[in-house]
Structure 1
Amino acid sequence: MARAPFNMLPLGTPAPDFKLPDTVSGTVSLDELKSDKATVIMFICNHCPFVSM
């Protein structure tokens, strides 16, 4: 498994806005998706052994 650099944020830290490629419309941002109650965004891949368990 490849090791990737990351920056841990403390729990409760508001997520910074971001834009990611979308499979339909081009790009999507956190600002477009966020909700007042909760927003869950999962970064997964179907070839990862931890996802397919």
Structure 2
Amino acid sequence: MFVLLLCLLAKYFVDAGAPTQAAALFGVGAASMLTVFVTQHGRRRKDQ
């Protein structure tokens, strides 16, 4: 869901003539979500 929202927002920025901001928004958003998933997976494995 959040990835779709990031994609749509990035497309809006590209259509508005700001591809650099779109790439930064999508990259930072995707990287932060990936970090959360990896961190949570690591914590679950330590607890077990």
What's the TM-score bracket when you normalise by the shorter of the two chains? Answer: under 0.3
Structure 1 or 2: more strand by fraction: 1
Q: Which has the higher contact order (CA 8 A, sep 6+)?
A: 2
Per the normalisation by structure 2, the TM-score is: 0.26
Structure 1 or 2: more helix by fraction: 2
Larger radius of gyration: 2
Per the normalisation by structure 1, the TM-score is: 0.25
